[in-house]
Structure 1
Amino acid sequence: MRVKESQVPQDPLCTSTLGNYLWRDPPQEKKWADCVHCGMCLESCPTYEQTGEEQHSPRGRVYLIKAVAEGKLNVDEQFANPVFSCLDCRACTTACPVDVDVGGLIEEARGQIRQALPLKGWKRTVNKFFLHGVFPHHNRLRTLGGLLRLYQRSGLQKAVRKTKLINIMPQHLIEMESIMPEVKGAVRKNNGSIIKAQGETKHEVAMLTGCVMDVFFSDINESTINVLTRNGNDVSIPTNQTCCGALHVHAGDRDMGRKLAKQNIEAFENADTVIVNAAGCGCMMKEYAELFRDEPEWKKRAEEFEEKVVDISKYLHDTGYEKPKSAINTRITYHDACHLAHGQGVRQEPRDILLDIPGVEMIHMPNADRCCGSAGIYNITHPEMADDVLKSKMENVPDDVEMISMGNPGCMLQMALGVKKYGRSQKIVHTIQLLDWAYQKEKGDDNHVRHKD
């Protein structure tokens, strides 16, 4: 049912409505205007591959979004289903001959849907707890990390598994718990500090430590700092940085996305370069200006901020890095995280870094830039589709490799699940981890290498 205009919250920044989109930030016509429904996007779409249904294809979703703007469809559950079933992987834009921004349309449409159809019941409670109550607050994240670490190290995790108590959870959450990484100390404890370069300072950079990354993958943050300082970079960790907001924007909570974006823009105001080691975070931060089209001052600040943001692999590739001398003898394949390859156009740089490590043999993965099904929390909200997409992805992983490298924490969790679920043996590593291990091996510290090889 369409919401009456009298029921629409009065937002002073909501300058206009568009068809049946009645709230701020409706999907922009310029983003769909060039779409001629040619079908070049179809083969690139994971959900269309699985369903064969037009409404679950990029051009189908574009048509639906346009139809609501023209007043032909309402913002209802039938519209919400295909919009939220999209992985927002951006592969369709890469395939599109005129670069239709399907991802941008999807995110704007989700914002409208969440205004018209707010979450209710337990979904609303869980959403509010994590997206508002936990992820934006690093002290709470550290507390959560401490509790998870206690769960893992106290024997409670083993007891929960042994007694089958874990079976009270849905199957997809049981599977995710089974591949949860070992939680270590967060890098955010160094908030406000500057880690000096090893030797001569060549550059000064600031680093996003992230939310999920700093709880579950703090060792990758440590590796990132090690690699940066090894290559002449002073690394600062700004005090007031926060979650990038990607999960919020993907969920349709654009107001919270704007709040977090403003906080990060201010936190990194004095930095010339902002290093990011999580593809999803980097892509979101390079699109902050999209959130501020009704706020000219913030839009300008966001555009300036976007120019500072760079993925760690691209930064090292562009500024130069010391090639390691010690070998890590392994056969490896590389998975392109969607928001790194399609979202930021970073493809060859991480591959070059891996190939510069002595002993690394790179094996090509067919369809390496195909989504793994993680897509933020898509594997939790849409477990069946995510599992189908993951199965298709794992079929492309070469059998004769020992490691799968990538540059995004969500992908790492999802691919680890795929390895376990389909009886594979590969180790999941972040590209920068492997470079750091090669450096550490030069110093005689090869504990990481022995553990992973």
Structure 2
Amino acid sequence: MAFAELYRQALEGDHFKPNRSLLVSWILALAMGGETTRRRLNRSIRIYQRSGLPRLLVLLAKLPLLKSIQPLLVLLPTPHNPQPVAGFTQTQVDQPLREVTLFTGCIANLFDTHTHNATIALLSRIGCDVTVAENQTCCGAAYAHNGEMSQAKACLKQNLTAFANSSTVIYNSSGCGAFLNDYPALMASEEKNPHELPSFLDVLDYLEQSDRFHQLKFKPLQTQVVVHEPCSQRNALKTQTLVYRLLEKIPGLRITPLADNQICCGAGGTKMVTQPELANPMRDEKIAALSLSGAEILITTNHTCALHLMSGARDAGFEGQLMHPVQLLAQQLIN
């Protein structure tokens, strides 16, 4: 029932425009969806995955309607197991540093709550009270990628309202971060905006600059990890070396870059669902490099890249894990 309702909203709501593909309209409607939309979708995905429908849809995948939505269905995490994310987490450190706000986004807020909770765990350990502001929304990148700058600016305005009492906003997805850091340029084109910009900071950068982080101890992990460097981190933020420096805090970890990191994995915002014939071969080259690396863990900092790469890894029989670096750091953190 929830899927049908969301589908109807995508068709009838303000987010639908005739010159979009139906699939893009659906994605963008979900990106702007609130907590009620998220709860319905989470419930629907769990029912869908437990019902046996995925196996049936594989058999019927060549039907026109199913073929059109298959690129979206294959991206669903398996199993879909979202965690609750607290609205406020108080640090247990005797001398708190400051209060920060966590940017949760749209796709990550639905499919990667584990990364949000790992981010909160690490920030609270270095002395931060962490707030998850209500009414924040998509950073706007999903709209900008599809040429809809008026909607991207609407996301900006909604987020600045949500962050009105925040001086520091922490993000954990490089794709979102690249667009959040473009907010000053977007605001410059507006005649008047009542809200001042907070500082938008990558969680990896924030941790790396913290003396308290460098005092933390991590459990050894004798395994091989390979690092995917998203285009947003290499080319926009130019902070791809942060991942390696932070992961080196884990004793025994063997860290190598994924081969040909200078080449896009194919995710490209929404391109992985709108142009899978182009995106999937690029992804498959990354998965082939992953298989050759012998790594048990694939690391990436971009949530959409993670969904795209994991769908290919599953198809290739990869039995390891795909993680954001903060997940691995939080997992190995000594209490």
Distance 1:132 1:400, change over 3 A: closer
Between the aligned partners of 1:148 and 1:159, the Cα distance in structure 2 is 11
Give the CA deviation at 1:343.
1.3
Distance 1:268 1:231, change over 3 A: same
- 1:405 match: 299
| AA at the equivalent of 1:257 | A
Between the aligned partners of 2:299 and 2:117, the Cα distance in structure 1 is 17
Give the CA deviation at 1:255.
0.8
- 1:52 match: none
Distance 1:265 1:257, change over 3 A: same
Given that 1:248 and 1:257 are in contact with CA atoms closer than 8 Å, whether structure 2 keeps it comes out as: yes
Question: Residues 290-305 of structure 1: matches in 2 within 5 Å?
Answer: 290-298=185-193, 301=195, 304-305=197-198
- Compare CA radii of gyration and give the structure with the larger one: 1
What is the DSSP-based 3-state SS (H/G/I as helix, E as strand, rest coil) of the residue aligned with 1:327? coil
- 2:209 match: 318
Are 1:341 and 2:220 an aligned pair?
no
Identify which of 410, 422, 428 aligns with 2:322.
428
Question: Residues 142-161 of structure 1: matches in 2 within 5 Å?
Answer: 142-152=39-49, 155-156=50-51, 158-161=52-55
Residue deviations 1:20-53, cap 9 Å, x none? xxxxxxxxxxxxxxxxxxxxxxxxxxxxxxxxxx
Are 1:248 and 2:146 an aligned pair?
no
Higher relative contact order (Cα pairs below 8 Å, separated by 6+ residues) = 2
Identify which of 106, 122, 137 aligns with 1:211.
106
What is the DSSP-based 3-state SS (H/G/I as helix, E as strand, rest coil) of the residue aligned with 1:199? coil
Between the aligned partners of 1:341 and 1:163, the Cα distance in structure 2 is 37
- 2:154 match: 259
TM-score with structure 2 setting the length: 0.84
Given that 2:75 and 2:307 are in contact with CA atoms closer than 8 Å, whether structure 1 keeps it comes out as: no
Are 1:365 and 2:258 an aligned pair?
yes
Between the aligned partners of 2:242 and 2:118, the Cα distance in structure 1 is 17
TM-score with structure 1 setting the length: 0.63
Are 1:351 and 2:244 an aligned pair?
yes
Give the CA deviation at 1:311.
1.1
Given that 1:336 and 1:347 are in contact with CA atoms closer than 8 Å, whether structure 2 keeps it comes out as: yes
- Aligned residues: percent identity? 24
Given that 1:183 and 1:215 are in contact with CA atoms closer than 8 Å, whether structure 2 keeps it comes out as: no
Between the aligned partners of 2:192 and 2:42, the Cα distance in structure 1 is 37
Given that 2:164 and 2:195 are in contact with CA atoms closer than 8 Å, whether structure 1 keeps it comes out as: no
Give the CA deviation at 1:429.
1.0
| AA at the equivalent of 1:381 | T
Given that 2:48 and 2:54 are in contact with CA atoms closer than 8 Å, whether structure 1 keeps it comes out as: no
Residue deviations 1:121-156, cap 9 Å, x none? 7x454444431365342321222122112323xx31
Given that 2:137 and 2:159 are in contact with CA atoms closer than 8 Å, whether structure 1 keeps it comes out as: yes
Give the CA deviation at 1:166.
5.1
Given that 1:166 and 1:174 are in contact with CA atoms closer than 8 Å, whether structure 2 keeps it comes out as: no
Between the aligned partners of 2:68 and 2:161, the Cα distance in structure 1 is 41
- 1:120 match: 18
Give the CA deviation at 1:160.
3.9
What stretches of structure 2 of length at least 5 have no aligned partner? 1-15
| AA at the equivalent of 1:366 | A
Distance 1:438 1:186, change over 3 A: closer
Given that 1:335 and 1:369 are in contact with CA atoms closer than 8 Å, whether structure 2 keeps it comes out as: no
Distance 1:225 1:166, change over 3 A: farther
Distance 1:435 1:409, change over 3 A: same
| AA at the equivalent of 1:205 | V
Count of equivalent residues: 313
Distance 1:159 1:247, change over 3 A: closer
Are 1:393 and 2:286 an aligned pair?
yes
Between the aligned partners of 1:395 and 1:427, the Cα distance in structure 2 is 15
- 2:13 match: none
| AA at the equivalent of 1:316 | L
What is the DSSP-based 3-state SS (H/G/I as helix, E as strand, rest coil) of the residue aligned with 1:184? coil
Given that 1:202 and 1:233 are in contact with CA atoms closer than 8 Å, whether structure 2 keeps it comes out as: yes
Given that 2:161 and 2:195 are in contact with CA atoms closer than 8 Å, whether structure 1 keeps it comes out as: no
Between the aligned partners of 2:135 and 2:46, the Cα distance in structure 1 is 25
Are 1:229 and 2:120 an aligned pair?
no
Give the CA deviation at 1:161.
0.7
Between the aligned partners of 2:21 and 2:256, the Cα distance in structure 1 is 44
Note the aligned Cα RMSD (angstroms).
2.6
Given that 1:213 and 1:409 are in contact with CA atoms closer than 8 Å, whether structure 2 keeps it comes out as: yes
